[in-house]
Amino acid sequence: IVSVDPSLRRNGFSHRTGMFDLMTTNDDPQLVVRRGQPFVLELTLSRPFNQDTDSISFIFYHTLANYPSVGRKTMVAIPLAMQAEDSTENTWSAVLDKSEGHRITVFITAAANAIIGKWQMEIDSMVKKQGSNNYKHKNLIYILFNAWCKDDAVFIDGAANRKEYVTTEVGAIWKGSYKQPHSSLWKYGQFDKNVLDCSLFLLEKISKLPLTQYGDPVLVGRAVSSAVNSPDDNGVVCGNWSGDFSGGIKPSEWIGSPKILRKYYKTQKPVKYGQCYVFAGVATTVFRALGIPSRTVTCYKAAHDYGCSHTIDIFVDDEGEILPEISKDLIWNYHVWSEIWTKRPDLEPGYDGWQVVDGTPQELSDNLYRCGPAPVIAVKKGDVQKPYDVGYVYSEVNADVIYWKYQGLIQPLKLIKTDTVGVGLYISTKAVGSYEREDLTDQYKYEEKSREERLIMLKALRASDDLKSRYYLNERFNDVKFEFQVQDDITIGNSYSVYLNAKNVSKIKHKVTVILRSATQHYHGEIQNIIKREEKSMTISPDSEEKAVMVLNYEDYSSYIGDDIVYHICALCKVEGTDFEYFAQDDFRIVLPSITIKLEGAPVANKVLYGSAYFKNPLPEKMKNCVFLIEGPGLKKGLKYKIEDVPANAIAKVNFKMTPTFYGKQTIVAKFSSNKLNNIDGHLTVVVAEGNIHRNDVNTIN
Looking only at the bridges linking them, the beta strands covering 609-616 and 596-600 are antiparallel
Catalytic-labelled residue, pool 305, 358, 564, 681: 358
Hey, is 434 helix, strand or coil?
Answer: coil
669 has which bridge partners?
631, 683
**Taking the alpha carbons of 376, 377, 378, 379 in that order, is the dihedral positive or negative?**
positive
Among 331, 577, 582, CA closest to 473: 582
Provide the CB-side half-sphere exposure for 615 (13 A, CA): 23
398 is in an annotated binding site: yes
Hey, is 19 helix, strand or coil?
Answer: coil
* Distance separating alpha carbons of residues 46 and 120, to the nearest angstrom: 22
Contact 355, 339 (CB under 8 A): yes
- Whether 358 is catalytic: yes
Strands (DSSP E) found in 305-424: 311-316, 330-342, 353-358, 364-365, 368-369, 371-375, 400-405, 414-419
* Distance separating alpha carbons of residues 262 and 282, to the nearest angstrom: 11
* Distance separating alpha carbons of residues 439 and 425, to the nearest angstrom: 10
Provide the CB-side half-sphere exposure for 91 (13 A, CA): 11
Question: How many residues make up the chain in this entry?
Answer: 702
Contact 315, 406 (CB under 8 A): yes
Q: How many CB atoms lie within 10 A of CB 592?
A: 19
Alpha helices (H) in 511-576, listed in sequence order: 554-557
* Distance separating alpha carbons of residues 275 and 574, to the nearest angstrom: 39
Phi, psi of 652 (to 5 degrees): -95, 125
Distances from the Cα of 315 to the Cαs of 179, 306, 699, in angstroms? 25, 15, 57
576 has which bridge partners?
none
Distances from the Cα of 628 to the Cαs of 86, 98, 438, 656, in angstroms? 58, 55, 29, 10
* Distance separating alpha carbons of residues 272 and 240, to the nearest angstrom: 8
* Distance separating alpha carbons of residues 104 and 97, to the nearest angstrom: 7
Contact 171, 185 (CB under 8 A): yes
Looking only at the bridges linking them, the beta strands covering 311-316 and 400-405 are parallel
483 is in an annotated binding site: no
**Taking the alpha carbons of 219, 224, 229, 232 in that order, is the dihedral positive or negative?**
positive
DSSP 251: G
- Whether 276 is catalytic: yes
Cα distance from N-terminal residue to C-terminal residue, the chain: 37
* Distance separating alpha carbons of residues 156 and 217, to the nearest angstrom: 13
* Distance separating alpha carbons of residues 25 and 48, to the nearest angstrom: 32
Contact 193, 21 (CB under 8 A): yes
631 is in an annotated binding site: no
- Conformational region of residue 489, where left means phi above 0, alpha means psi within -120 to 50, and beta covers everything else: left
453 is in an annotated binding site: yes
Contact 23, 133 (CB under 8 A): no
* Distance separating alpha carbons of residues 484 and 487, to the nearest angstrom: 10
Catalytic-labelled residue, pool 15, 137, 304, 335: 335
* Distance separating alpha carbons of residues 447 and 93, to the nearest angstrom: 50
Catalytic-labelled residue, pool 198, 276, 371, 570: 276
* Annotated binding-site residue numbers: 398, 400, 448, 453
Q: Which residues are catalytic?
A: 276, 335, 358
* Annotated binding-site residue numbers for Ca(2+): 398, 400, 448, 453
